Amino acid sequence: MRNIDVIRATSLFEGVGEKALAFFDKNAIASSYSARSVIAAEGSLGDCLFIIKSGSVDVVLSRETKDVVKMAELTAGDFAGEMSLIDSQPRSASLIAREDTEVLIITRATLLDLHSKDFDAFMKIIVNITRRIGNRLRQTDKVLANIGR
């Protein structure tokens, strides 16, 4: 699948026009990871988000007991890393490739560049990120409620 097709199909870009989609197609960074590779490490500083182009990724949290809690499994078209993209804080979870996986990386610099070029598209993306963070918070609440049951 072409990068532009992945971008177009990702909920991050819902409502965004073709000009902005082409901008991300031009500026996205393609990267590949082998199975069990760490794509992003919990606690590390990040300035980008990852769109899963192919393969699948586990979102995991470490616990003080050194065991790991799987929060989610992401597949093609999903994205992760949006919190660090927005708030410049350490990553709240690790992303681990379940299999050979290709991602498209969108950096904070690219997002800020869009801000000056197409403010309406920028705002739609921010709304989509906010919606995703809200959904993930609800999902996390459910996972945490089931820990220890």
User: What percent of the chain lies above the pLDDT cut of 70?
Assistant: 97
Rounded to whole angstroms, the Cα distance separating 84 from 39 reads 14
Residue 132 has pLDDT above 80, yes or no: yes
pTM of the full structure: 0.89
Radius of gyration of the chain (CA): 15
CATH number at 80 reads 2.60.120.10
Separation CA 136–CA 149 (nearest Å): 21
Parent domain of 16: 3-146
Of 61, 59, 63, nearest to 72 by C-alpha is 59
Closest CA to 110 of 9, 13, 2: 13
Residue 79 pLDDT exceeds 80:
yes
Q: How many domains does the chain have?
A: 1
pLDDT, tens digit (0-9, with 9 covering 90-100), for 35-55: 999 999 999 999 999 999 999
